[in-house]
A and B are shown apart, each in its own frame.
Chain A
Amino acid sequence: MYLNSILWKKVSSDLLIHKYRTVLSISSIAIGLFVIGTLLGMMDLQLSYMDKAHQASQPSHISLMLRRDVDFSVAETIRNLPEVDSVDTMTQFTGQFKTSNSTPWQTGTLLFRTDYLNQKQDQMHLLAGSFPHDKAVAIERLSAQYAHLNLGDTLEINTPNGTETLTITGIIRHPFVKPPTFGGQIHVFIAPELAPTFNIPSSSFRQLLVQVKPPYSPEKAHLIASEIRQKLATLNIPVNATLLQNPEQHWGRAIFKGIHLILTVMAWASLALSSVLILNTVGALITQQTNQIGIMKSLGARRTSIAKIYLSEVFVLSIIALLIAIPLSWVGAYYSSQWLLDLFNIEISGFVYSPKTLYIMIAGGLIAPILAALQPILQGASISVRQAISSYGLGADFVSNRFDQWLELKIATRLPTIYAMALANLFRRKARLIGTQSVLIIAGVLFMVIMSLITSLKLTLNNELARSAYDIRLGFIQDQPGETINKLVNSVPNTQQIELWKRLPVELSVNAKLIQQVGSLGMQMIALPTNTLMYKPLIVEGRWFDSSDEQQDHLVLNADTAELNGIHVGDKIQTSLLQQSSRAWEVIGLYRWFAGSGYAVEPVYGPLSTLQLNTKTEFKYSFALLTAKLNSLTEEKAYLEALKAVFQEYPIALDVYTTLAKREQRQFAENQFKPMIGMLLGLAIMIAIVGAIGLSGTLAISVLQRTREIAVLRAIGAKSKTIFRLFMLEGLFHGLLAWLISVPTAYLVAAPLAKQLGLTMLGIHLDFVFSQLSVLIWLVVVLILAIFATYLPARNATKIVVRAGLEY
């Protein structure tokens, strides 16, 4: 864009003379760019590092969690299956330990691999020290951070043969651990030679890792997993869960797919909103400089020359905004992705940024403001000399329409004159009002939707927990006789009721084709008493079990899975349970599954009596559901620890993944949702700040444009505080109007939006409730923002001197 030095001088002096307006314009573009850079950069860094870390761990394609210790020879058998490329093994089990920082016994996961130096799949990388050997153990990276454990610290571990004191000599990264704040266990790696101390043969395994022969495809992995399960069934080896994963893409991608889509939309929306403010600012600049445009035109300037001057001003503003936003967004993206990656146990070494995002920022940062400014600039540049240099006092810029007349007659006449003037001024420049309001309204709606999402999430969690009458669920690694469970559970004080359930891997098929499932960790049948008092899921179609289902081949299926496969209540589906031939079971009901992100084993409910009828051997149970006299999270923790101790003592190994306490589980669930909700709230606040900057800009421009009017007011006796009050009122009316519009808008859109956000981001069907509190909070926030945004322009208005103002 060529401009000669005099015109550049005009550009620079325009920007320097009105510093406040320049700062506001730069801030609004910079905030939009910062949001884009931070969010897109964070997503890019996050996904690329997740995938890199995933690929580096040589991920298994199929991971089967077995219900008992299995000899290595079984792994060899599986390796010999035609489509299996390689196998690897590991064992994870529950143990109790004490650290030097804690006195009570804690439950954690102990893990060993046969040969740490020769891991083929799901490799666990040594980050510091050495791999476990003899009585030297290693601690998982996240566990070390959470429990404040370091190399050289000791752990006391409870074994069936007494307590062992072990020294931490290594820190290892496990690719598939849940962070302890989300309910993940402390993981301790032990040497295989230490396994017999826990009555586990060192030449055995509980988790089988499989890679299929290339080329990999999810369908192929699914098919081979089914073959392996059948093979294991023939060897009388039950499988608790099967995990399938893409070797190229990190398993966590699925969790972020929805939220990334929403964040991308919001990032671009924030740039669009900040561009609206550019439209306002440039529009005002043109209006303010109409006289100058007229003079330049009378001196021979053409439309293009005029347009170039103002486009150059926008270009300079954009460049400065980019220079501010780029480094800030690099920092924002780096730290936010580091924080998110840490949740997936992935470290970033050294400062990194996303080059792709940088290009997007540069393109967006230069194009969006210019596009926004184009219309007012072209319109301004097209004005005739006569129009531009004429001036007719205060009313020249005010064309009243029917709305203004209605406002004046019906509302303003009932108000004191200052209020009437502030209200009328609010509606004076409607295009600018719409621009400013749209940003504030969107921020308000977003805020109320997010608050409703949080409230709905809490309600959903409460409702789900209300459907579960139990306080504690104990899951056993191997199924146990009911008599033993009852005896052990009843030996712990405060126990009230107990109910026993059984789980079995299940494969469902329709027309000889395995059905698609929502849960990414496979399906299992949960067999429970038909008159269960402990749990009743939310039934969306059909019914839950009653006594008429005793010993019947009836099941209750996940509604999403049913929808995915076109299954309805009353349909019969082929059900294949362990060691049993496939039979047709009738779907009597569909339940709403509450599982964040679907990264879980999907339950299919069936009557316990049907399984008992078909079991030839002694019937054993997988879960014990207990109610107890508990009043707090602390009491619940103590009770669960007591139960764990009793079972450990017996010894019966509890399954860390399926043993849970209700109150604690709720806390973990809330912790899991916090990062995403935090991110959304952060975005709403960013948009609100953009709105406040816009409001401040609008009022600053109003002060400039109404300089003569302010001078007239002062000439007829208005004091400084009156002028100050007038502009403060206008700012507050802006806030109030935005609030008045955003409340019904939010009320209308909150339910579908929050439900969609819940489904896309959190993977759950929300029980919706509109957050009434958010309406009040937003009123306070928007009024505070309005006060902050208005203060400076209002103060500047009081500084206008009458003579200078009248000459303006």
Chain B
Amino acid sequence: MQNLIKLNHIYKAYTLGPLKTPVLQDISLTINTGEFVVITGPSGNGKSTLLNLLTGIDKPCEGEIIVNGSALHRLKEEELSVWRGLNVGIVFQFFQLLPSLSLLQNIQLPMDFVNKYPRKERLERAHYLLDRVGLAKQANQLPGQVSGGQQQRAAIARALANDPALLVADEPTGNLDSATAENIYTLFATLQQEGKTLVIVTHNEELAKTANRHITLHDGRVSSDQYQSPLQ
């Protein structure tokens, strides 16, 4: 299998006044294409920071991050925006759908940013993705008009808009009830079966069991990294 993500000796600290607080220390990891990785650990132990580094939202103080062949630690903010649009789909805890756009338009938006698909295909693809997440009927509704679970499914559809190699999610079920959350696990599992690489930060033990690799962070270091048989 091909390496999709490679982290070499990552060190990340935040400076607050005179204090420098390390968040991630000497993290080295390799994630292959098609893996479904969950990252767990107590709050404040660097999970979200690690996710931010993988998506180019944040930069390491030391070390290298190579994702899908790009050295993210060397890219500028503007280059990172373009890179993200093409290579990574992000699913946020609070869905973060644009409230004034319909679900359909929310999905078209990344395609319009990146121009990977011809203009004529974008609408059709947005409909296809919404259909995939079971929201075909809600296409023209505003986010505020649908449930939290539906919003999160739309957010996943948006993350898939440009068919990225990597899908990352930060607490994607943190705001959902258990039945809705289960739907989301199933969706992630299906995406993995289709060859997508998923990296998900979660506190949800059930979700963690659906992945084939489980990384635990403690005090900013990898305390365990285990492959597991995912629950179907």
Chain A residues in contact with chain B, CB under 8 A? Answer: 391-395, 397-400, 404-405, 408-409, 412-413, 416-418, 420-421, 424-425, 427-428, 708-709, 712-720, 722, 801-803, 806
Q: Can you name 5 A-B pairs with beta carbons within 8 Å?
A: A412-B101, A424-B100, A714-B84, A717-B110, A717-B113
Chain A residue with the shortest CB-CB distance to B170: A806
The residues of B that contact A801 with a CB separation of less than 8 Å are 77
Which residues of chain B from 21 to 59 have a CB within 8 Å of any chain A CB? 52, 55, 57-58
- Whether the pair B112, A417 counts as a contact (CB closer than 8 A) is yes
- Whether the pair B81, A420 counts as a contact (CB closer than 8 A) is no
A717's partner among B58, B98, B101, B114 (CB-CB below 8 A) is: B114
Add 10 more A-B contacts to A393-B94, A393-B95, A717-B85 (CB < 8 A): A394-B143, A399-B144, A404-B142, A421-B98, A421-B100, A709-B96, A714-B84, A716-B158, A718-B85, A806-B57
B96's partner among A393, A416, A420, A718 (CB-CB below 8 A) is: A393
Interface string of B54-71 (1 = CB under 8 A from A): 010110000000000000
Question: How extensive is the interface on chain B, given as a class?
Answer: 35 or more
**Complex: A713 Cα to B114 Cα, angstroms:** 12
- Whether the pair B142, A408 counts as a contact (CB closer than 8 A) is yes
Cβ-closest 5 pairs across A and B: A717-B85, A393-B94, A424-B100, A398-B99, A395-B99
Also in contact, A719 and B82, with CB within 8 A (given A393-B94, A421-B109):
yes
The residues of A that contact B94 with a CB separation of less than 8 Å are 391-394
The residues of A that contact B142 with a CB separation of less than 8 Å are 400, 404-405, 408
**Complex: A428 Cα to B101 Cα, angstroms:** 11
A418's partner among B78, B89, B100, B112 (CB-CB below 8 A) is: B112
**Complex: A354 Cα to B158 Cα, angstroms:** 64
Does residue B162 face the partner (Cβ distance < 8 Å to A)?
yes
The residues of A that contact B159 with a CB separation of less than 8 Å are 716
Does residue B211 face the partner (Cβ distance < 8 Å to A)?
no
A716's partner among B58, B99, B109 (CB-CB below 8 A) is: B109
Also in contact, A716 and B101, with CB within 8 A (given A400-B142, A408-B142):
no
Does residue B140 face the partner (Cβ distance < 8 Å to A)?
yes
The residues of B that contact A802 with a CB separation of less than 8 Å are 57, 77, 80-81
Does residue B128 face the partner (Cβ distance < 8 Å to A)?
no
Also in contact, A408 and B102, with CB within 8 A (given A393-B94, A394-B94, A803-B52):
yes
- Whether the pair A413, B105 counts as a contact (CB closer than 8 A) is yes
Chain B residue with the shortest CB-CB distance to A393: B94
- Whether the pair A413, B102 counts as a contact (CB closer than 8 A) is yes
Does residue B150 face the partner (Cβ distance < 8 Å to A)?
no
- Whether the pair B82, A717 counts as a contact (CB closer than 8 A) is yes
The residues of A that contact B199 with a CB separation of less than 8 Å are none
Does residue B210 face the partner (Cβ distance < 8 Å to A)?
no
Does residue B108 face the partner (Cβ distance < 8 Å to A)?
yes
Also in contact, A409 and B140, with CB within 8 A (given A417-B109, A717-B110):
yes
Does residue B7 face the partner (Cβ distance < 8 Å to A)?
no
The residues of B that contact A393 with a CB separation of less than 8 Å are 92-96
Chain A residue with the shortest CB-CB distance to B108: A417
**Complex: A561 Cα to B144 Cα, angstroms:** 67
**Complex: A399 Cα to B144 Cα, angstroms:** 7
B100's partner among A392, A404, A719 (CB-CB below 8 A) is: A404
Does residue B8 face the partner (Cβ distance < 8 Å to A)?
no
**Complex: A806 Cα to B49 Cα, angstroms:** 12
Interface string of B209-222 (1 = CB under 8 A from A): 00000000000000
Chain B residues in contact with chain A, CB under 8 A? Answer: 52, 55, 57-58, 77-78, 80-82, 84-86, 89-90, 92-102, 104-105, 108-110, 112-114, 140, 142-145, 158-159, 161-162
- Whether the pair B57, A394 counts as a contact (CB closer than 8 A) is no
**Complex: A416 Cα to B98 Cα, angstroms:** 15
- The winner among A416, A417, A418 for most chain B CB atoms within 10 A is A417
The residues of A that contact B52 with a CB separation of less than 8 Å are 803
**Complex: A391 Cα to B175 Cα, angstroms:** 12
The residues of B that contact A391 with a CB separation of less than 8 Å are 94
Also in contact, A720 and B143, with CB within 8 A (given A413-B102, A417-B112, A712-B92):
no
Also in contact, A716 and B112, with CB within 8 A (given A405-B142, A408-B142, A424-B100):
no
- Whether the pair A398, B100 counts as a contact (CB closer than 8 A) is yes
**Complex: A803 Cα to B95 Cα, angstroms:** 16
- Whether the pair B140, A413 counts as a contact (CB closer than 8 A) is yes
B101's partner among A409, A421, A806 (CB-CB below 8 A) is: A421
The residues of B that contact A400 with a CB separation of less than 8 Å are 99-100, 142, 144-145
The residues of A that contact B108 with a CB separation of less than 8 Å are 417
The residues of B that contact A806 with a CB separation of less than 8 Å are 57, 92
B140's partner among A397, A408, A720, A722 (CB-CB below 8 A) is: A408
- Whether the pair B81, A720 counts as a contact (CB closer than 8 A) is yes
The residues of B that contact A425 with a CB separation of less than 8 Å are 100
Also in contact, A716 and B78, with CB within 8 A (given A395-B144, A421-B98, A424-B101):
no
Distance in angstroms from B123 CB to nearest chain A CB is 10
- Whether the pair B105, A394 counts as a contact (CB closer than 8 A) is no
Also in contact, A412 and B105, with CB within 8 A (given A393-B94, A398-B144, A400-B99):
yes
**Complex: A806 Cα to B100 Cα, angstroms:** 18
The residues of B that contact A404 with a CB separation of less than 8 Å are 100, 142
B143's partner among A395, A719, A803 (CB-CB below 8 A) is: A395
**Complex: A362 Cα to B58 Cα, angstroms:** 50
- Whether the pair B100, A708 counts as a contact (CB closer than 8 A) is no
Chain B residue with the shortest CB-CB distance to A712: B96
Distance in angstroms from B18 CB to nearest chain A CB is 21
The residues of A that contact B140 with a CB separation of less than 8 Å are 408-409, 413
**Complex: A397 Cα to B159 Cα, angstroms:** 23
The residues of B that contact A409 with a CB separation of less than 8 Å are 140
- Whether the pair B78, A708 counts as a contact (CB closer than 8 A) is no
Also in contact, A708 and B101, with CB within 8 A (given A716-B90, A716-B113, A802-B57):
no
- Whether the pair A716, B85 counts as a contact (CB closer than 8 A) is yes
The residues of B that contact A408 with a CB separation of less than 8 Å are 100-102, 140, 142
Distance in angstroms from A397 CB to nearest chain B CB is 8
Also in contact, A717 and B57, with CB within 8 A (given A394-B97, A395-B144, A400-B144):
no
Distance in angstroms from A344 CB to nearest chain B CB is 58
- Whether the pair B110, A716 counts as a contact (CB closer than 8 A) is yes
Distance in angstroms from B59 CB to nearest chain A CB is 9
**Complex: A619 Cα to B99 Cα, angstroms:** 89
The residues of B that contact A395 with a CB separation of less than 8 Å are 95, 97, 99, 143-144
Chain A residue with the shortest CB-CB distance to B106: A417
Distance in angstroms from B24 CB to nearest chain A CB is 14
- Whether the pair B81, A709 counts as a contact (CB closer than 8 A) is no
**Complex: A361 Cα to B169 Cα, angstroms:** 57
**Complex: A541 Cα to B111 Cα, angstroms:** 71
Chain B residue with the shortest CB-CB distance to A718: B113
**Complex: A421 Cα to B109 Cα, angstroms:** 9
The residues of A that contact B85 with a CB separation of less than 8 Å are 716-718
Chain A residue with the shortest CB-CB distance to B85: A717
- The winner among A394, A416, A709 for most chain B CB atoms within 10 A is A394
The residues of B that contact A428 with a CB separation of less than 8 Å are 99-100
**Complex: A632 Cα to B102 Cα, angstroms:** 66
- Whether the pair A714, B81 counts as a contact (CB closer than 8 A) is yes
Also in contact, A412 and B102, with CB within 8 A (given A394-B97, A404-B142):
yes
The residues of B that contact A420 with a CB separation of less than 8 Å are 101, 105
- Whether the pair B100, A716 counts as a contact (CB closer than 8 A) is no
**Complex: A748 Cα to B144 Cα, angstroms:** 39
The residues of B that contact A392 with a CB separation of less than 8 Å are 94
Chain A residue with the shortest CB-CB distance to B151: A395
**Complex: A424 Cα to B142 Cα, angstroms:** 11
The residues of A that contact B58 with a CB separation of less than 8 Å are 803
- Whether the pair A718, B101 counts as a contact (CB closer than 8 A) is no
- The winner among B92, B99, B105, B159 for most chain A CB atoms within 10 A is B99
Distance in angstroms from B101 CB to nearest chain A CB is 6
Distance in angstroms from B15 CB to nearest chain A CB is 14
Also in contact, A717 and B162, with CB within 8 A (given A400-B142, A417-B109):
yes
- Whether the pair A717, B100 counts as a contact (CB closer than 8 A) is no
**Complex: A713 Cα to B78 Cα, angstroms:** 12
**Complex: A709 Cα to B140 Cα, angstroms:** 20
